[in-house]
Structure 1
């Protein structure tokens, strides 16, 4: 018989948006439980790298269920609604005179945050103790517990280890080696995409190109093997710009160099030479440009074993072409915190909880990974029926482009049509039946 006076010990490795959402979720959904929560972060501070982040209605509903709505509303110019919204004005722009294709709509608001602001808002609601400068080097699992060892000599023992330590997850490498030995899923692979990022103050953009539409509306500029995502963030004070280029011959390869670096405006101008004037204005308005190699995981066969759970990018790191990578980490956090909050969850039933998490979340996470790749292929004009299109072609039939974005929208519908609540209820039902 388990001693219920003892706290259930939970270790979260990684203090990104996923790990902090799990901590906040445990503090909100499982506040009645006797929990001991530790969050370990390898870095010396918690500050997200990057610029904008997209939150779909499906993810916004999860944030609300985790008790985060009030904290996040203060970051937005207006509250999300359930009404039909335009989430991208799509233009074919790899030509001198850009052409409007379609206004893609969503049922509910596609909410955009400044990534660092979002992370800090979730951090303010965390439960448990945050330990900075703690880099995990190994873990050992027994039937009753899991022991963590860190590079600074710290050791600690828990009932459950949740890996939210990102695309280069240390936990995943150990996890896969323990289960299957050498595995192609250990290392992330290059998607073939290279991304250039810029945050532009709206005042500067207005100086370079007065009345630029990017100040007010989200845009997708497309062309052969390239596309650009642009939308306002930080209560419309900044414009987040993400420029994508793709080399299909590099897809699935291992990239040996640094995943990110600074880059020059000249490099970006060279990549988008010949694109319409408002694209050129975005590039000229940018500064402190960064270049990123976009990597993703080969879909995993298993997200959990025993007392160890892989979540977020450690489990299903994906390309950003559906804007759902962070959203999937938040959903992982929702399912895990909901299971731990249930009265039937004890240290003895943690392996069962981990098994249920894998059964419920792995199909969704792996499907999101695959859908994201497909959406990138579509919006970069690399799919079927576009083999003969070249960059700068100004005579691509509009009917063909409209059919393409009809498929793009269909692949994306799940982010507002479906609900993670279905998965949560299924997971809890399985726990009750199997517990």
Structure 2
């Protein structure tokens, strides 16, 4: 982009992890004018622990947010530092195998802590709050966003990072001549809670249960249910998510008048796992007031881009959490877009083409991660046609199932994008 041209104005709608990470990277470049719009009165995340695979950790480092992440991240302690999860039967905690992520293991944080750490890195004046986007139009070479408070903002391009309930996704799909895509209920609900690690340790000792199950992230598997545990808050808390799936109907529906997250009772949670073993029972007895989450995802979209508007993160590819990959895919989106949008060869005249190439590079991978995240849930809950509940097949399958996801080379994605754009020389960052 020539120095004689005005700054390229980029708006980001949505202040979640992907949106803030992208804003942080882009605002370091003097030739870009970045504005981040968040619908809420302040940055905030619902949920508890979030896990990042090796690919996501590399994206975090590449986005320049590795230091704030490492200050708060939890890792599997030595000598189990490379273990992502150990896999066990829910009925008796019998060992099935382990998935190993060399050099990373289980890398996780409390979602709100990570968002807070990122928000503190943002320079003043970048973020604007209470800005809920309600209208969108492209006029000539500009994008005009209308907000619920009656104000407007115009920019050269817009990145929508506004989550699974995105207000901008329909605009993109309509522009592509495609029908709107709404979140769909998966038929799976998750009981969630956090346990003080010492409280759980004492309960396991009293019940004669091996404390190793606390030291290393665990995944307990069973028919139509599975439970995961991993540490957060520097090991002070154990994040617990207990999934239950209803496969009795082919097209499950969640009532429109019910919230996706609600309070639940310990009694109903324990009843859902009444046939499981002591390790699970004692674990759940340490959660007096769980919350219940109705898990939704999106169908694979036919496109993430229309004109000067692009979708990233859950707005584009919200997925089930069974591979711990949703947030990581948003960070991969942000990583690639940051490199393309900050390149001096980007100008007002080729914005649309750059976004089209982003879509061509990112969408096939993100769609595959969506698809395999659903398949992972089937595998964990003994519904995979090949594995079923066969311990040997499960162990072999789980040992290397995630390699393709974790070992993805984002530099190859960037190189592919640059070739498609005719940008043969790498930009200096």
TM-score by length of 1: 0.90
Distance in 1 between residues matched to 2:324 and 2:199, nearest whole Å: 26
Deviates further, 58-67 or 419-428: 419-428
User: Are 2:192 and 1:192 equivalent residues in the alignment?
Assistant: no
Residue of structure 2 equivalent to 1:376: 377
Residue 221 of structure 2 corresponds to 222
Residue 31 of structure 2 corresponds to 34
Q: How many residues align?
A: 416
Equivalence for 2:128 = 131
Evaluate the alpha carbon distance shift between residue 405 and residue 158 of structure 1 in structure 2; reply closer, same or farther with a 3 A threshold.
farther
Contact 1:73 1:79 (C-alpha < 8 Å) held by counterparts: no
Displacement after TM superposition at 1:171 (Å): 0.3
Which residue of 1 is the match for residue 13 of structure 2? 13
Q: CA deviation at 1:417?
A: 2.0
Q: Bigger CA drift: 229-238 or 412-421?
A: 412-421
Counterpart position of 2:409: 419
Structure 1 residue runs of 5 or longer lacking an equivalent are 388-395
Where does residue 53 of structure 1 map in the other structure? Answer: 50
TM-score by structure 2 length? Answer: 0.91
What SS does the corresponding residue of 2:392 show, helix, strand or coil?
A: helix
Residue 107 of structure 1 and its aligned partner are, at CA, apart by 2.7
1:291-306 alignment, distance < 5 Å = 291-306=292-307
Whether the aligned pair in 2 keeps the contact of 1:190 and 1:251 (CA below 8 Å) is no
1:207 aligns with 2:166: no
* Unmatched 5+ stretches in structure 2: none
Deviation (angstroms), 1:174: 2.3
Q: Give the deviation of 1:165 after TM superposition.
A: 0.3
Number of the residue aligned with 2:101:
106
Alignment of 1:76-87 (within 5 A): 76=73, 85-87=82-84
Matched, 1:145 2:135: no
Q: In structure 1, what is the Cα distance between the partners aligned to 2:294 and 2:36?
A: 28
- Seen in structure 2, the aligned counterparts of structure 1 residues 19 and 251 have a Cα distance that, compared at 3 Å, is farther
Residue 171 (structure 1) aligned with residue 175 (structure 2)? no
Residue among 166, 169, 180 paired with 2:177: 180
The correspondence of residues 348-363 of structure 1 with structure 2, limited to 5 A, is 348-363=349-364
Q: Distance in 1 between matches of 2:305 and 2:249?
A: 30
Structure 2 partner of 1:393: none
Query: Per-residue deviation at 1:230?
Result: 0.4
What's the C-alpha RMSD, in Å, of the aligned pairs? 2.3
Residue 122 in structure 1 maps to residue 118 in structure 2 = yes
